[in-house]
Amino acid sequence: MLIGHLIPSPAMRRSEFYFELPEELIAQQPLPERDAARMLVLNGETGRVSDRLIVDLPEFIHPADMLVFNDTRVIPARL
């Protein structure tokens, strides 16, 4: 999740999608406590990345921020 400023990134390459993902790390269903879900936070000014919980989201939202929600369903597919 990107909070704050947008950081320009180089063009995406197909090779970035080739990686090993162990089966046990793939979520099969949502957590019973939805606010226990994890989020990755990128500080746009420092580049620091931190692993946080979704319950921490209000710490990162400011009055001028815009939130975009993705409510699409996940399909059983891989790239």
Tell me, what's the pLDDT at 1? 47
Q: How far apart (Å, rounded) are the C-alpha atoms in residues 25 and 44?
A: 27
CA dihedral 58, 73, 34, 67 (to 10 degrees): 0
Q: Looking at residue 52, what is its pLDDT? A: 95
How far is it, in rounded angstroms, from Cα 39 to Cα 51? 6
Query: Considering the entire predicted model, what is its pTM?
Result: 0.52
pLDDT tens, residue order, the chain (79 aa): 444 455 556 777 888 778 788 888 888 888 888 888 889 998 888 989 999 999 999 998 999 988 888 888 877 776 6
Tokens of 77: 């597919």
Question: What local confidence, expressed as pLDDT, does residue 51 receive?
Answer: 94
Instruction: Collapse the DSSP code of 50 into the 3-class scheme (helix H, G, I; strand E, B; otherwise coil) and give the result.
Output: strand
